[in-house]
Amino acid sequence: MAKISIPCLVGKTNKAGVTSWYWQPSATLRKAGFEPEKLGKDQGAAMRRADDLNAQVERWKGGADILDQIKPRTMPGTFTALIERYRKDKVNGIDPLTGERYIKQSTADTYEVQLKRLEIWAGKHPISYITPARVKALRNALVDPEDGIGHSAAHNTLKVLRQIFAFAESEDIIPKRSNPATEFGLGAPPSRKGVWEADDEAAFIKAAYHLNMPSMAFAMKLAIYSAQREADLINFTDTQLAQLEIHDLNVIARMGDKNGTVMGWDMAQGKSNGTTLMEIPFEPGILRETQNLLRTNRARDRAAVPPRLETYVLVDDETGLPWHLCQDGTVRTGSGPRRAFHKAWSSVAAKAAELTGRKHILKLVWHDLRRTRVVRLRRRGMSPDQIASITGHSPKSIEMMLKVYGPVDPTITAAAIASTLPVPVKKPAREAKKPSNKRQFKG
């Protein structure tokens, strides 16, 4: 019997001598969306079906759209091909010396938004299609008052475009000094100055409890208290709540329990340029709420089938599950946990605006909580080094951190000016005349 040589067609014969036929695509085809298919025991029918499937593959290789679940093939020399290489080597690249990502996953997730936007714009075209004139046309479309995406998002998109072509220059894909996005004519947007006021906090917490979402209420408190990013907060587990070694007796007296034990958050703050180890002492109120949430969540975790052995402080109040798990038990990857968290956060913010009429809460974002903590620390006269010890910034980045997270605040400005003014001299208060014990006689 002649050997059948049809691409991807595989026959498997059992002990009884019966052969079953399968179409098994290569790893590259599976990644593109082609699925293995069982073709039955009829050899002739299996061969005809395999030929049909292979014909689809050939059309796909030619750039045709096959099925919704099949990704169009990336044609060599196109802008999409450049984006895919940049994504692989830079955005998701691993440093061979350290074994760590060049770019932190959460940062890579934000890049992905820009990459997809650029791919929709010019992905199917050759790299040479993108000229300075077309980059400026893209800029104008992105900042269009009616149909655009806004100054900040437009600037971020164009900045990523410039980085992609800088990468292409470094890899000799395009000639040196030929980056069409070097000057795209859109300055950086002004720094955000959003700060949560005490009434905004109270409104958000009220709305969270109104929606039966206590985890979100505590997320607000913990964010302002610790000045940490949401990715670190939603990964806060019971193993990170630890006893801290504190040597200052005044701190122990104010933050410790009756035995002088100070508990806090012992965590590794993930960043694009490495990891910062943090130890954040908890004042009694924050510690008590943390322990209460862990107690509730731990009971739920142990009762699960199978039991979950790691307990998270912040969970999805609707499902009772950590943010990286869906209700069906599947794992959210990439930016999935943060997207789910932000969706819940937005629902609470909307309810807060509805209940209190404070519509500006809808314009405040999660990162403004971190800025709020910095502003409040500056108002209390904290030095840059002290602030950086709380936020986790390096000494070298303190000034930039204060520029980004510490907008000009009238309280700080007033305190600075007041410190230059002469201290008014207060006149001593006149002593009140003491009543005389002598009797007064009228003459």
**CA separation, residue 341 to residues 164, 317, 332 (Å):** 30, 10, 11
Residue 306, preceding peptide bond in cis (omega within 30° of 0) = yes
- Which one of 3.90.1010.10, 1.10.443.10, 2.60.120.560, 1.10.490.10 gives the CATH number of domain 198-416? 1.10.443.10
pLDDT of residue 141 exceeding 60: yes
The predicted pLDDT at position 172 comes to 93
pLDDT of residue 411 exceeding 90: no
The predicted pLDDT at position 425 comes to 64
The predicted pLDDT at position 130 comes to 95
The predicted pLDDT at position 401 comes to 63
The predicted pLDDT at position 431 comes to 57
Q: What is the mean pLDDT of the chain?
A: 84
Three-state DSSP at 265 gives: strand
The predicted pLDDT at position 227 comes to 87
pLDDT of residue 434 exceeding 60: no
If phi > 0 it is left, if psi is from -120 to 50 it is alpha, else beta; for residue 185 that is left
Note the CATH number of domain 79-170. 1.10.150
CB 60 within 8 A of CB 66: yes
Residue 354: CB atoms within 10 A of its CB come to: 15
- pTM of the predicted model, to two decimals? 0.62
115 vs 433: which has the higher pLDDT: 115
Delimit the domains of the chain by residue range.
9-61, 79-170, 198-416
Q: Of the candidates 215, 240, 205, which has an alpha carbon nearest to the alpha carbon of residue 319?
A: 215
Q: Say how far apart CA 265 and CA 365 lie, in whole Å.
A: 24
pLDDT bracket for residue 118 (50, 70, 90): very high
Instruction: List all residues 6 or more positions away from 314 whose beta carbon is below 8 Å from its beta carbon.
Output: 215, 218, 219, 222, 233, 234, 236, 293, 323
What are 235-279's pLDDT values in tens digits?
999 999 999 998 888 888 888 888 889 999 998 876 555 567 888
Parallel, antiparallel, or unpaired for β 241-244 and 37-40? unpaired
